[in-house]
Structure formats: structure tokens, C-alpha cells
């Protein structure tokens, strides 16, 4: 990319603003930037249907075989280690993948997955973050970290066009589980398409040991076709404005973490687990609930500096927030992880399974007749 097509920090601040999430001064519409498409080339301008064509369209060639983040891919606990400098790289990539069998969608990902990778640091750590944009991208991207004191949570200084990269440094001043997300003018479209994730800032004393840790993310996707329709689904901004999604997803794909798709999460009776949950939104609150179990401990909003709630059945997680949950597994069973806005589970794909194996415990539960 020639230097004439690059955007410097001063120009970015003029275009996107430095306040809030780095977008102040942009009211509706899109901002054209030479050499950088500020809008998704599929969605078009707000208020339009982008590349929607009459009738069904064939599925597009898949460029990623999987976007569903592996729920077991969680960085190891820091366990109260002394503060240090930790370095991370987030690569934004726009890619075609199956949102359900036979249906494709143009995702926007961090490191080829939804949600983006979980980052783990300790309170007091210095974090060096490099944000890259793949050469083949069409849109501008940046990152707003809710764990950062700084302009737009870092958004003002991480704006990158295709082939560019930027690096920032910050100190993790406060503990908790925090969302990060893209924050360009079409922020809602980019988050809905998959550009969100979590950074965990452990308190100095670390977290109590558990047998398993899992990472999950919910978001809703707005397309020009109903769920269950084969072919390619284009992003549909009018549906997003109405907040009527085609899909509400756990880890980026329809029924991703179930036996019929990527497989259930596996645990054994008597074990314990901690779930790190992030709700990208961009619009819908999640009523996160484990069918057949409860949250033994729960930290609303990922606020780990506070005492946990105990034995919680359903906990609201607003868009742009998180929750940290612990579970016991006293009996063998399939536990359904759902949004208790039930239609999102039954009709829009928001379901994951934790399969608990082991011997029956009739003193706790049994079927009598």
C-alpha cells in the first residue's frame, strides 16, 4: 500500500473523533477514506440492502472452514505472578464461512474466529498490543478495549486499513473480564459480523483453581435471508436497525457447540468449571442460563473485584459486557447453555451443550416412572 493511501493518527482523529469509542463527530452515514473502505462492501450504506439480489443465491466459496472459537482454548491462569510486559497481536480478517450448513456469510473476525481470542493478563501488567488488517480486507478496522484508560479504549490509535498495522501500549490498571470490539463508524455491523472478544485482567491474587475453564461469546447476526435458508446471506442493515436478527449465536455459528456441529463441551461428574462469557451484541441483552444446573458462583459484568453471587439461575449480560460463572457437576447430564429469551435458542441458533459423563447419582436425581 502506497504512503498516500495510509491514514496517520491526526487524520484518523479528524475523521473518527477521539472521544467515546473513537467515533465522536460521526453522525449516521459513513465516512469515505482514500484507500480504505469505511463500510463493509457487502452491506453498503446504512439504510440500504447492500448487494441483496432477488431470490436465493448460491453459497460463496468458503475461505474459512471454521469461525467458531474453540471454547477450551483459554490461556492458562497467571496465578498471582509478578507484573510483566505481555505482547499480543490481533489480526482483522474478513472471510466467507458457513454460518449454518449450506449457508455462507461474510464474517469479520479477529484471528479467524468468533469471538476473537481471549487475552489474559494480570492487574499491573504492561500490555503491548499490535493490531493488523489482512491485505485482502475491504474495510477499516480498529479495537476498543474496555480494559484501557485511553482515547476510545485504544480505538483512536489502532485504526488500520488493509495491509496496515498499529501498536499501542497500556497498563492494566483494574481487574475484571472486559469486552474488546471493533469501533469504526459501522461499529454495529462490524461487531455483529464477529469483531469482538474478551480480555481478562486477573486480580493480583489470581483466581481460585477449577478443573476446567471455557470461553464463550454471544452475538446476533442480521442477514437478508431467514435462518435455515441455503445459499449466501448478505448483511442487512435495515434488519439491524429493527433489531430483528436472523441468528443469535454462541461462538459464531448456528448451534456451534452441540453434537450436530462442532461437538459438545466435555466434563466429568464431580468436576468444576469456570465460564468466561462475553456478549458482543450489538443490540440484544443475553439472559444466560444453564438448563439442568445453576451458576454456583457468578460475577456480573465480569467484576472480579467484588464478591460473587451464589446459586444464580439466570443472569443478564448486556451487549458490550461480560460475565464470569462457575459451575459444579454433581450428576451426569447434558447441560444446555442458552439465552433464556427462549426463541433465540429454539429458532435462532443460540445453544451450546456441556456433556457431563459419569455414574448416575440416584440420591440427587432419578426418574421414578
| Residue predicted with more confidence, 35 or 58 | 58
- Is the predicted pLDDT of residue 45 greater than 70, yes or no? no
Quickly state the pLDDT bin for 29 (edges 50, 70, 90): very low
DSSP 362: T
| DSSP per-residue string spanning 231-287 | EEE-B-HHHHHHT--SEEEETTBTTTBSTTTT--EEEETT-EEEEEEEEEESSPPEE
Q: Tell me if the bond preceding 328 is cis, omega within 30° of 0.
A: no
Bridge partner list, 201: 121, 176
% the chain with pLDDT above 90: 84
pLDDT digits (tens, 9 = 90+) for 247-292: 999 999 999 999 999 999 999 999 999 999 999 999 999 999 999 9
**Beta carbons of 202 and 178 less than 8 angstroms apart:** no
Q: What is the CATH number of domain 11-202?
A: 2.60.40.420
Mean model confidence pLDDT for the chain: 88
Report in angstroms the alpha-carbon separations of 349 from 126, 264, 339, 354.
Answer: 38, 14, 10, 16
| Dihedral pair phi/psi, residue 13, rounded to 5° | -65, -35
Report in angstroms the alpha-carbon separations of 23 from 26, 33, 106, 108.
Answer: 6, 14, 24, 19
d(CA 270, CA 278): 26
| DSSP per-residue string spanning 46-61 | TTS-TT--SS--PPPP
Which residues have CB under 8 Å from 246's CB, separation 6+? 221, 222, 223, 225, 226, 227, 233, 236, 239, 348
Q: How many CA atoms lie within 13 A of 55 on its CB side?
A: 2
- Is the predicted pLDDT of residue 2 greater than 70, yes or no? no
**Beta carbons of 279 and 320 less than 8 angstroms apart:** yes
What pLDDT, on a 0 to 100 scale, did the predictor assign at position 18? 37
- The residue ranges of DSSP E strands in 124-246, in sequence order, are 126-133, 144-145, 165-171, 176-181, 196-202, 212-221, 231-233
Which residues have CB under 8 Å from 129's CB, separation 6+? 87, 88, 89, 90, 143, 145, 154, 158, 167, 168, 169, 170
Quickly state the pLDDT bin for 42 (edges 50, 70, 90): very low
pLDDT digits (tens, 9 = 90+) for 330-368: 999 999 999 999 999 999 999 999 999 999 999 999 999
Domain ranges across the chain: 11-202, 212-357
What pLDDT, on a 0 to 100 scale, did the predictor assign at position 13? 42
- Is the predicted pLDDT of residue 27 greater than 70, yes or no? no
> Do 11-202 and 212-357 agree at the fold level?
yes
What pLDDT, on a 0 to 100 scale, did the predictor assign at position 80? 82
pLDDT digits (tens, 9 = 90+) for 294-329: 999 999 999 999 999 999 999 999 999 999 999 999
Q: Mean pLDDT across the stretch 150-174? A: 97
What pLDDT, on a 0 to 100 scale, did the predictor assign at position 131? 98
pTM over 0.85: yes
- Is the predicted pLDDT of residue 77 greater than 80, yes or no? yes
| Residue predicted with more confidence, 273 or 53 | 273
d(CA 266, CA 223): 32
- Is the predicted pLDDT of residue 44 greater than 80, yes or no? no
CATH class (in words) of the domain with range 212-357: mainly beta
What pLDDT, on a 0 to 100 scale, did the predictor assign at position 57? 81
Here the cell at position 251 is 461462538
10 Å CB burial of residue 178 (0-12, 13-18, 19+) is: buried
Amino acid at each position: 500500500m502506497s504512503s498516500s493511501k495510509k491514514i496517520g493518527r491526526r487524520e484518523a482523529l479528524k475523521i473518527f473523533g477521539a472521544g467515546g469509542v473513537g467515533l465522536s463527530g460521526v453522525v449516521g452515514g459513513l465516512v469515505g477514506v482514500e484507500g480504505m473502505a469505511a463500510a463493509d462492501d457487502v452491506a453498503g450504506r446504512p439504510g440500504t440492502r447492500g448487494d441483496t439480489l432477488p431470490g436465493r443465491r448460491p453459497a460463496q466459496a468458503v475461505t474459512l472452514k471454521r469461525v467458531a472459537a474453540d471454547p477450551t482454548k483459554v490461556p492458562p491462569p497467571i496465578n498471582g505472578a509478578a507484573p510483566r510486559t505481555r505482547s499480543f497481536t490481533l489480526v482483522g480478517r474478513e472471510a466467507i464461512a458457513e454460518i449454518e450448513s449450506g449457508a455462507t456469510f461474510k464474517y469479520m473476525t479477529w484471528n479467524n474466529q468468533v469471538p476473537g481470542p481471549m487475552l489474559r493478563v494480570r492487574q499491573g501488567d504492561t500490555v503491548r498490543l499490535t493490531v493488523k488488517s489482512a491485505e485482502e480486507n475491504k474495510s477499516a478496522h480498529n479495537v476498543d478495549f474496555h480494559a484501557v484508560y485511553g482515547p476510545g479504549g485504544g480505538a483512536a490509535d489502532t485504526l488500520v486499513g488493509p495491509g496496515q498495522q498499529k501498536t499501542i501500549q497500556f497498563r492494566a490498571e483494574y481487574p475484571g473480564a472486559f469486552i474488546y470490539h471493533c469501533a469504526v463508524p459501522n461499529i454495529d455491523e462490524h461487531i455483529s459480523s464477529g469483531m469482538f472478544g474478551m480480555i481478562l485482567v486477573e486480580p493480583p491474587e489470581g483466581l481460585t483453581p477449577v478443573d476446567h475453564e471455557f470461553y464463550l461469546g454471544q452475538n446476533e447476526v442480521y442477514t437478508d435471508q431467514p435462518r435455515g435458508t441455503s445459499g449466501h446471506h448478505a448483511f442487512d442493515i435495515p434488519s439491524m436497525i429493527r433489531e430483528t436478527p436472523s441468528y443469535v449465536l454462541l461462538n459464531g455459528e448456528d448451534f456451534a457447540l452441540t453434537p450436530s456441529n462442532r461437538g459438545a463441551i466435555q466434563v466429568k461428574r464431580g468436576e468444576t468449571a469456570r465460564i468466561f462469557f462475553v456478549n458482543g451484541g450489538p443490540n440484544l441483552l443475553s439472559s444466560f442460563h444453564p438448563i439442568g444446573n445453576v451458576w454456583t458462583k457468578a460475577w456480573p459484568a465480569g467484576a472480579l473485584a467484588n464478591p460473587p453471587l451464589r446459586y444464580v439461575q439466570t443472569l443478564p449480560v448486556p451487549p458490550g459486557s461480560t460475565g464470569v460463572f462457575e459451575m459444579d457437576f454433581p450428576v451426569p447430564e447434558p447441560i444446555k447453555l442458552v439465552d433464556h429469551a427462549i426463541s433465540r435458542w429454539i429458532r435462532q441458533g443460540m445453544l451450546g451443550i456441556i456433556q457431563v459423563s459419569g455414574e448416575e447419582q440416584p440420591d440427587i436425581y432419578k426418574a421414578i416412572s
